[in-house]
Amino acid sequence: MELAISKAIVHVLDPAGGAPVFSDRLLELEGETRDYLAAHLEKAYYNDAGKTCTFLAESTFPPLLLESADFVQASKQIAQLFFDVMRQNAAIPAADLFVVLCSIDGHESVAMLKMNYKAAFAHFYQQVEGQHYNALIKQRTILPPASTKPDESVIVDMTDGTVRLVEKKVELDGGKDFYISTRILHTAPAQPERAKLRAVQAAAAQAVRENYDDSKKTECEVTAILCEEAAAGGGSLPVERVRRRIEEEFPLAAPAFVQEIENTGLAAEERVEVPPARIRRMEFQSIKTESGIELKIPTSLLAGENDYVEFINDPDGTISLLVKGIMI
């Protein structure tokens, strides 16, 4: 990722305080502050729990971003939108809201990182009857560390208007629902990227399984196809490209794959965003036997004909795995 942060500001959104605490000044983007924001932005961008959304026609959020020349004032308006919804719904956690103007891979973007508070203990020094006393106090407004993903985030690509959204369901009006997409941004419903990836993988595996024997081997070959195409696309996996690969390598399964994809509601022109961490996990297959033996094998070695491993279908319906050329 090529990431450049140009402006950032933080506002305190704690309904228990009665009103938001707005900042009038931008953050000083130096050293650890910049590193902290960059780490969270990268994790938010590559979070496969996120959804790629578009604004509904009636949404008032895009004009707020596009028509305001005053970044500080626009950030306050954004924070106020969040706070108004939070104040009406006690289940939404208090947080600091970072609003960031940045460039991601050359695309000017506005990001909102909602950093929900964590509770943690810290020491508290005081003097008691003339004696030094170090006690413990529970801090309830600790921000998440840079090593973790933001709980909730919004990244708006200003070049095409798409939104990368990570949100959580909370208790709203007697039932659980999303609040950022429905009550703040007003975006069209969308599936999380990892759900779309699972749907494509399941559709391909099901189609191949129905039309070819040696199901375990073909399942591994399907994973290899997805891994290769996601890597070749720089993390963007076109459904149509997967269909063509299935047609090339498993022609009998191609019609079934198209039908399975239609059943999931995904369009042929859909692209699934696969983060680098997910691609790395797909590069290996973990195979575990009933006796507890577990093998981790590169996916590329499980696809096609090879001199390394072989799946053997046993008469009793089980599958044996033959690992060749072991050096001890």
Per-residue model confidence as pLDDT tens digits over 100-157 = 999 999 999 999 999 999 999 989 899 998 899 999 999 888 999 999 999 999 999 9
Q: Is residue 136 domain-resident?
A: no
CB 217 within 8 A of CB 311: yes
Q: Is residue 129 domain-resident?
A: no
pLDDT at 322: 76
Per-residue model confidence as pLDDT tens digits over 307-317 = 677 777 777 76
Per-residue model confidence as pLDDT tens digits over 238-265 = 999 999 999 998 899 999 999 999 998 8
Q: Are residues 91 and 73 in the same domain?
A: yes
Q: Are residues 268 and 170 in the same domain?
A: no
Q: How many CB atoms lie within 10 A of CB 17?
A: 11
Q: Is residue 134 domain-resident?
A: no
Q: Cα–Cα distance between 113 and 37 in angstroms, integer?
A: 9
What average pLDDT score do residues 295-320 get? Answer: 72
327 strand-pairing partners:
none
Q: Are residues 168 and 212 in the same domain?
A: no
Q: Is residue 127 domain-resident?
A: no
pLDDT at 66: 74
157, 185, 213 - which closes a domain: 185
pLDDT at 28: 94
pLDDT at 303: 64
Q: Is residue 71 domain-resident?
A: yes
pLDDT at 215: 62
Tokens for 179? 């609040």
Q: Is residue 64 domain-resident?
A: yes
Q: Between helices 239-249 and 254-264, what is the axis angle to 10°?
A: 160
Q: Are residues 160 and 199 in the same domain?
A: no
**What is the count of structural domains for the chain?**
2
> Is a pLDDT exceeding 80 seen at residue 319?
no
Q: Is the dihedral of CA 32, 101, 279, 190 positive or negative?
A: positive
> Is a pLDDT exceeding 90 seen at residue 42?
yes
Question: What band does 328 get if pLDDT is binned at 50, 70 and 90?
Answer: low
Q: Cα–Cα distance between 102 and 6 in angstroms, integer?
A: 6
3-state SS assignment for residue 202: helix
pLDDT at 305: 63
Q: Please provide the average confidence, as pLDDT, over all residues in the chain.
A: 89
Per-residue model confidence as pLDDT tens digits over 190-228 = 999 999 999 999 999 899 888 887 666 677 788 888 999
pLDDT at 121: 92
Q: Is residue 133 domain-resident?
A: no
Q: Are residues 147 and 225 in the same domain?
A: no
Q: Are residues 35 and 11 in the same domain?
A: yes
Q: Cα–Cα distance between 242 and 197 in angstroms, integer?
A: 11
Domain that holds residue 283: 193-323
167, 185, 203 - which closes a domain: 185
% of the chain surpassing 70 pLDDT: 95
Q: Are residues 159 and 33 in the same domain?
A: yes
State the first-to-last Cα distance of the chain, in angstroms, to the nearest integer.
41
Give the Cα-Cα-Cα angle 158, 164, 166 (nearest 5 degrees).
145
> Is a pLDDT exceeding 70 seen at residue 67?
no
Burial of residue 29 (number of CB atoms within 10 Å: 0-12, 13-18, 19+): middle
> Is a pLDDT exceeding 70 seen at residue 52?
yes
> Is a pLDDT exceeding 80 seen at residue 287?
no
Q: Is residue 328 domain-resident?
A: no
Q: Are residues 241 and 177 in the same domain?
A: no
Q: Are residues 303 and 279 in the same domain?
A: yes
Q: Are residues 46 and 181 in the same domain?
A: yes
Q: Are residues 207 and 315 in the same domain?
A: yes
Q: Are residues 173 and 248 in the same domain?
A: no
Pick the closest to residue 225 from 264, 267, 276, 283 (CA basis).
283
> Is a pLDDT exceeding 90 seen at residue 173?
no
CB 165 within 8 A of CB 184: no
pLDDT at 292: 78
pLDDT at 8: 97
User: How many residues belong to the chain?
Assistant: 328
pLDDT at 217: 67
Q: Cα–Cα distance between 218 and 283 in angstroms, integer?
A: 15
